[in-house]
Amino acid sequence: MSLNSLDPQLIRNFLGKLSAHIVVALVALVAIGGATRVMEAGLACPDWPLCYGSFFPKGQMNLKVFLEWFHRLDAFFVGIAISLQFILSLLYKYFLPRWLPLFNGFILLLIVLQGGLGALTVIDLLPSIVVVSHMLFALTLVALMSGLTQILLSPNGIESPLWWKFLSRSSLVIVIAQSLIGSRMATTWGAQSCVNNGINCKLLEMHRISAFPVLIAVLIFVFTCILLGGWFRSQWPWLLFLLTLLGMQIFLGIFSVNLGLNEPLVRVAHQLIASLLVAFLSALSCRGPNRKPVIYRQKLQNNSLEVCHG
C-alpha cells in the first residue's frame, strides 16, 4: 500500500486512540506509584532497572516487591508506547500537523527523564526533592498526553475562546501545584508528624489552604460556562463530572486525615483522583466547539421565459 493511498483521518484516529491508552496507563502509573509510596515499598527492589538482579524476582516476591516491580513494568510499557507514537508520527508526518512529531519527541524526552528520576529514587534512597520531581514529571505527562488525545480525536473542532483556555488551564496548574505540596508533605512525613504528634504541621496546613484556590478556580470555570450558555452550557455532563471528581478529592483528603492517615487505600484513591483531575482539566482545556456542517441549498430559479404580448 502506497503512502498516497492512506487516509489521514484514519492515521490521526489511530494515534489519538494510542494516546488515550497511554493516558490510562499514565494515570494507573501515578496510582501504583502512590501505592508504592504509601506501602513504603519504594526500596523494595534494591537495584535498578532489574529487581534483585532479574526481570521477575520470583524468589523475592511479596506485596511490597510486587508494587515496586509492577510500577517499573507499567513505566516500561508506557515508554514503549510513547516511543511507538513518536516513530509513527515521523513515518506519517506528511499526513499529520507539523508540530506533532516535535511534540511527541518532547514527550519521549520527558519519559526518559522520568525514568532517570525513578532510578535516582532508588540509588539515592528516596530523597524528597527527587520524589516530588518524579511526581511533577508524571502529572505533566498526564496533562500533555490527555490534551494531545483531545486534539487528535477532535480534528474538526473550532478553537476555544481565550477565557475557556485561561480558566481551565489555571485550574490545571493549581491542581498540579496542590498535588506537589501533598507529595512534599508525604515524602517528608510532615502529615504523620502533625496528625500523630502535633509537630511539623506547616506543609499539612499549606496543603489544606491550597485546596481553596483549587475549589474556587474550578467553580469559576464551571459557573462561567453555565452562565454563558450555548455550547459551553452543553458541556454540563463533563462539567458535572469535574465537580464530582473535585468533591471526591476533598472528601478523601478530609477522610484520610480523620483516619489518622492509617488507611492506605484512601490515600492511594486521593492520589488517583488528583491524576484524574489533571487529565480531565487538560482534556477540557483543549476542547472546542464542533464545526457545524455546511449545507448548501440549491436555489430554485424559474428560467422559463415569460410570454410577451406586443
- 182 or 247, which is more confident: 247
Averaged pLDDT for residues 187-196:
75
Which grid cell is 100? 506533532
Q: What band does 138 get if pLDDT is binned at 50, 70 and 90? A: very high
Check: CB of residue 223 under 8 Å from CB of residue 235.
no
Check: CB of residue 282 under 8 Å from CB of residue 275.
no
- Residue in 280, 204, 188, 205 with CA at minimum distance from that of residue 241: 280
How much is the pLDDT for 157?
64
- 267 or 24, which is more confident: 24
How much is the pLDDT for 294?
39
How much is the pLDDT for 284?
94
Residue whose C-alpha cell is 504523620: 192
Does pLDDT of 229 surpass 70?
yes
- Residue in 279, 281, 274, 35 with CA at minimum distance from that of residue 178: 274
How much is the pLDDT for 292?
52
Which of 61-75, 95-109, 136-150 is the least confident region?
Answer: 61-75
The Cα 32–Cα 66 span in angstroms is 10
Q: What band does 54 get if pLDDT is binned at 50, 70 and 90? A: confident
Q: Would you put residue 200 in left (φ > 0), alpha (ψ -120 to 50) or beta? A: left
Q: Which of 44-48, 52-56, 214-218 has the highest mean pLDDT?
A: 214-218
Residue whose C-alpha cell is 519519559: 111
* Alpha-carbon distances, residue 135 vs 104, 117, 205 (angstroms): 20, 10, 20
How much is the pLDDT for 130?
87
pLDDT 10s digits, 273-293: 999 999 999 999 998 887 554
Averaged pLDDT for residues 179-185:
88
Q: Give one DSSP letter per residue of 137-169, joined into a string.
A: HHHHHHHHHHHHHHHHH-TTBPPPPHHHHHHHH
The Cα 229–Cα 8 span in angstroms is 34
pLDDT 10s digits, 16-41: 999 999 999 999 999 998 888 888 78
Q: Work out the mean pLDDT of the chain and round it to a whole number.
A: 85
84, 85, 86, 87 alpha-carbon torsion, rounded to 10°: 50
Averaged pLDDT for residues 111-123:
87
Q: Give one DSSP letter per residue of 47-105, joined into a string.
A: SSSSBTTBSS-GGG-SHHHHHHHHHHHHHHHHHHHHHHHHHHHHHTGGGS-THHHHHHH
What's the predicted TM-score (pTM) here? Answer: 0.86
The Cα 175–Cα 170 span in angstroms is 9
The Cα 93–Cα 90 span in angstroms is 5
Q: How many whole angstroms from its chain centre is CA 267?
A: 18
Averaged pLDDT for residues 197-208:
82
3-state secondary structure of 251: helix
- Residue in 75, 57, 163 with CA at minimum distance from that of residue 114: 75
Percent of the chain predicted with pLDDT > 90: 47
